[in-house]
């Protein structure tokens, strides 16, 4: 697996830049990852990211957009506003999780 340096730390990533080691993530890294794709995190962003990480810990895979909307209680329209164009992919990237199944 490739290793990249973000905020002075070595982070294991896949070929697309998604983290591959769950425990390397922390909220400070999330801020850095978000900044790299032009997103400034707010409490609304963090709610979605926290849901994704908690869900991943119990389910073993990254939640898709429908799951985040239904179980996380965040309307799909709001997710598209918070994470424009490809919300599931961007949420997973910032949350330090694998890209969801079905994302291109």
Q: Which residue numbers are catalytic?
A: 103
Task: Provide the phi-psi class of 85: left if phi over 0, else alpha when psi is between -120 and 50, else beta.
Answer: left
Q: Can you tell me whether residue 63 is helix, strand or coil?
A: coil
Q: First vs last Cα of the chain: how many Å apart?
A: 20
């Amino acid at each position: 697996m490739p290793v990249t340096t973000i905020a002075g730390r070595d982070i294991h990533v896949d070929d697309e830049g998604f983290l591959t080691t769950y425990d390397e993530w922390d909220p400070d890294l999330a801020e850095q990852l978000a900044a790299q794709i032009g997103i400034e995190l707010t409490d609304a962003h963090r709610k979605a990211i926290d849901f994704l990480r908690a869900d991943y810990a119990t389910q073993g895979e990254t939640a898709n957009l429908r799951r985040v909307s239904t179980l996380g209680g965040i309307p799909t329209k709001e997710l598209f506003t918070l994470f424009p164009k490809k919300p599931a992919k961007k949420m997973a990237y910032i949350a330090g999780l694998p890209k969801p199944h079905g994302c291109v």
